[in-house]
Structure formats: structure tokens, C-alpha cells
Chains A and B, each alone.
Chain A
Amino acid sequence: GAGVSQSPSNKVTEKGKDVELRCDPISGHTALYWYRQSLGQGLEFLIYFQGNSAPDKSGLPSDRFSAERTGGSVSTLTIQRTQQEDSAVYLCASSPRVGEETQYFGPGTRLLVL
């Protein structure tokens, strides 16, 4: 079946612009996670959703970052007033439910802020 998909695959933007990144989880998966991977680095947790609610937003780097999930499926991660340090690969993962630990990753969105 279809895996986790993300769009766009690449995004180049100018400093100060807003960007929206989209994640489509595996159908039926209720848990959704966002991570960030800077060049040559490990993965850094940003936020997770159980259904449409986000119990843990502790990983969001600043108030310029926000995320939402509607209908228990698609999630969008929004970065306002982008900065050069926001350049990274943004990865989304889903699992059947919180408590089912295995997470399946999407291909990521490569964001470059000029």
C-alpha cells in the first residue's frame, strides 16, 4: 500500500517568507510525528499528533513554528518568517496509533532558506 508522502519534496524560499509543508500519513494511522534533520545531523523531534490533537509541542524550536492536523489524516507544518537556520530536511512519520511504536517515515521536504 501507499507509504507516508510529503510535499513539496524541495522548497527554496527567501528569508522572512512563510512556508507550509504537508504530510500524508499511511491510511488509518492515527499517530503522526514531525522531525527535523539538519545537514549531517541526527533527527530532532518537533511535534506529534494523536488524531487531531497535539499533546506534545515541546520540540518546536520557536513560536514561528506551528502544526495542525485536521480530519485525523493530513498534517501541515508551517514556518513563519523563515530564517536561514530553518534550512533542513523536515521528515514526517506515522504509526498505527500512539502506543504502537513502529514509525514509518516519509521522504521528507528539503527546505532551503536563502
Chain B
Amino acid sequence: GENVEQHPSTLSVQEGDSAVIKCTYSDSASNYFPWYKQELGKRPQLIIDIRSNVGEKKDQRIAVTLNKTAKHFSLHITETQPEDSAVYFCAASIPEYGNKLVFGAGTILRVKS
């Protein structure tokens, strides 16, 4: 079945610096890759997603890149702010199983001011 690996598990950056989180997946049939941000005690919030027919997508300070050949995708946050501090999860969908999501283990991002 699908396996999603996420790195690093923790990431500490200085305010204003960039943060990059990387994920790999195993199922070549996966075609949808969302990123969720989860603050302590709150629900996961979708921040950006990408489908397999594009290689890059950007939304203000957040961007996601996808390399289908290598089966990896990355989240890039530029000009980080303290409010970006949270746990970030990547996921890959399984089309043949109702698009259920298989999640990475998460990255704790801490932005120091």
C-alpha cells in the first residue's frame, strides 16, 4: 500500500528565513497531494494542494513542488513568521480507495522571533 515519508520531523528557523519540508510517496497511482497545518489542539487546515498534472503551485508565501518521476513533493514557506509555527502534514491520496489520504508523520515547525 501507499507509504508517505516526511522529513524533517522538527524544523527550527529564524523569523524571515525560508522553511522547506519534503515528502516521498510510494504509490505511483497517487495523483493528489495536500498539505495541512495543525496548531496545537486544533483541526488540520488545508493550506495548499497540488495535483499530478502540475509541477508547482504557489499561494503568496507558500509553494509546493511535485516531481512525479521521483515520487516526491515539497512545501516551501518563505519569509516565515511566528504564526507559521505549527505541525505540518503532507499527504497523498489513493484514487482506487476513494481518495483516502495517507499522511506523513508530520513536521514540527518553530519560527523564532
Contacts and interface: CB of A to CB of B under 8 A. Distances in A.
Contacts of B98: 31, 33, 48, 50, 55-56, 98
B9 to A, nearest CB: 10
A43 B98 CA distance: 17
Interface residues of B, number: 24
A109 B98 CA distance: 23
Contacts of B61: none
A79 to B, nearest CB: 20
Given A101-B32, A101-B34, A43 B44 contact: yes
A101 B99 contact: yes
A56 B96 CA distance: 10
A103 interface: yes
Nearest to A45: B100
Interface of B: 6, 32, 34, 36, 42-46, 49, 51, 89, 91, 93, 97-106
10 A-B pairs closest in CB distance: A101-B32, A43-B103, A42-B103, A105-B43, A42-B105, A98-B98, A48-B98, A107-B43, A101-B99, A45-B100
5 contacts: A42-B89, A45-B102, A99-B99, A103-B101, A105-B44
Given A42-B106, A55-B98, 4 more contacts: A33-B98, A41-B106, A43-B101, A56-B97
